[in-house]
A and B are shown apart, each in its own frame.
Chain A
Amino acid sequence: MRALLAFLLVASAGTAAAQSMTARETAYWDVVTRYATGNRKDAVATIGGWSEKDLDRILKSVQGLEKAARRCEACEDRARFDALPLRAAILLHAERDRMDRVARMQENGGAAECAISANGRMSADLLGPAALQPGGARFASRFYAVFAQHLRSALCFLTSRNWAEAGLKLAPRDAMLLFVDGLASETIGVTGFVEPTLRSERDWRGRQTAGYENLDPKREFSRAIDGFEKALAVDPHLSEARLRLGRVLSRMGRGPEARVSLKQAVEETSGASRYLAHLFLGQCLEDDGDLDGAIGQYSAAMALRPDSQIGAVALAHAHSLRGRSETAREVLEKMLPVAGRRQAADPYWSYAMGSPEDAEALIEDLRRETLR
């Protein structure tokens, strides 16, 4: 964390930058520094006590430094700005925002909580200035992509898409952001809602749903296809985009195109994605009346995950349509004892909405790499 060390040196040397800081600003950067240097819990708790007004003042001060830094590439103002631990600050505010939303969710008996708090807004507002720092643009686009996935797994699908779109303004050709944008649209199309808490509330979130009263899954799937295709155009090796493109094309009734995409996904992917590609390709073939082809794909999925109930139901159903009721029954009977004893969750369960654990792992990776 070279930028942070440089900032601390500048501040401790009593330069003009440090001297011009207010006591409140110094206290703020002290909290950020504590977060960056490992006192995570303490820093997240402390920042929760800061008012929106205080945070606003800090933001204005950062924006002032950014403005000065933009005037030159190798001057004192630029060096001073580059030394600000903005990425640590962004992660700190985002973590506090997550904590606040979890607390509100618990107060609400488990209902999803999508309203971004003052800390969440602060992390978003700091992303623009952070992008000016060396390596900052890459961090910002990664942060947008990771948090969009976190919001999706927190059932905040529209906020997730808004987050991805905000990232795309900064990095329009970022394959991961294009993919995540498509991902949010696919989820909205599959689930048929934008965010679960929006129906009964009339706050700003309610206004956000304007235009979604007559949510059209096909429109959402078209957006998803657009996102996945653009992502693949930038990065043809983004195999999860290939898998999801095939799945959404299939949902849109575009069977031949779906089959091409899913066959490619079967060849290019491994692990969970390959298992899903076999299942989805099997469904395409079944819809097309090719029951033997479908049975082959479902069997391939089961070979990868012998404890898959989803695979067993798909396989049994195809066998029953083929007139092999006894085989279908045997497949189901074999799967039933597995319930509750599997080693890992079935990837199909988190396909549509993501899993909070996976999203948390992405955030943790980003935090670890950033604060290294």
Chain B
Amino acid sequence: MSPRRVAGVLVLCASLTSAQTTASPQPTVFATKVESVLIDAFVTGDGGQMPGLTARDFILKDNGTRVEFDLLPAESLPLRAILVFDTSTSMQGLKIERLRAAAEAFVDRLRPEDEAALVSFSDEITWRVPLTTDRARLRFGILSLQARGATSAYDALFTALLVPRSGLRTLIVLFSDGEDNMSWLREKQIKGAVERSNALIHVVAAPPVDPRPGVLRIASDAEIANLKTLRGLAAITGGSLIEVASTDRIDAAFAEIIDRMKNRYVLRYTPESDLASGWHTLDLQLVTRKGKVRGRTGYWVEPR
């Protein structure tokens, strides 16, 4: 195994052991030199999510070369969810109320060993609650969300990707209702940061609403482009964007994310040969039956 630094999805084997046995928020320190790629895979067929698959049902290719992998018991892995919420002015009124209610329900659906954190963004990024299993603390943070200011989604996402210690795999649930108009980071830069991260990102996008009563709001070109960008960012990590038709569907979207996480497959792949630097494309396929597989599209290896 090359000692070369593998960014993003590469985590040390010991982290997996740690993740299965403890819900401690403390950063894990690893002594081993063995590195692995972990891939969250979501498989759907005609009847929805497809349970009961084994390693034999998949093939995985790294830059076109078939590689061996292990299938891990996903249900035993605790979640580390970071809720990253848009609290810009456009969220005022019913929308922020629905988001609060949906977030509380999301926290209630977590298992006792699962951790969650809360980050909000407008002009500023506020890390409201650090990763914790303390549900009361999370609920208090959720209730304190107020809508005011512009939207800096990319900067908030970057912060959520970077602040948790390396070795901790996180699920980021990003909620936004409009285009990013205040971030320092641009699309290309946040894409690079996502490619180098070890997080799984699911995005929930609510429709823009015209503040004038009865006026139908048509999304602007910039808002449509923004949705495309967020969808792309989620796809890199194997996650997806759920577009809700109205704010009363936010709760259902969050519930769907929890459901997907419960029914996902986690693949561990340990490269044996020296890794070339740069982007490695991962291709995960279902071979024994018909279905759609969504997983991380690749990982990044930093140059020596």
Contact = CB atoms under 8 A, between A and B. Distances in A.
B158 A317 contact: yes
Chain A interface helix/strand/loop/mixed: helix
B218 A332 contact: no
A336 B126 contact: yes
Contacts of A108: 211-212
B47 interface: no
A349 B122 CA distance: 10
Interface string B142-175: 0000000010000100110011011000000000
Interface string B187-218: 00100110010000000000000111101101
A64 B32 CA distance: 91
Interface residues of A, number: 32
Interface stretch (A72-80, A176-184, A306-314, A362-370): A306-314
A332 B150 contact: no
A110 interface: yes
Nearest to B93: A109
A173 to B, nearest CB: 34
A168 interface: no
Contact of A313 (B165, B185, B192, B215): B185
A317 B189 CA distance: 8
Nearest to B146: A340
Given A108-B212, A332-B159, A339 B124 contact: yes
Contact of B125 (A200, A320, A325, A339): A339
Contacts of A340: 124, 126
Interface of B: 5, 89, 123-127, 150, 155, 158-159, 162-163, 165-166, 181-185, 189, 192-193, 196, 210-213, 215-216, 218, 220-222, 302
Interface of A: 108-111, 191-193, 199-200, 279, 309-310, 313-314, 316-317, 320-321, 323, 325, 328-329, 332-333, 336, 339-340, 345-346, 348-349, 352
Given A200-B216, A316-B158, 18 more contacts: A108-B211, A108-B212, A109-B212, A191-B222, A192-B222, A200-B218, A313-B155, A313-B158, A313-B183, A313-B184, A320-B193, A323-B5, A323-B302, A325-B166, A329-B163, A336-B159, A339-B127, A346-B123
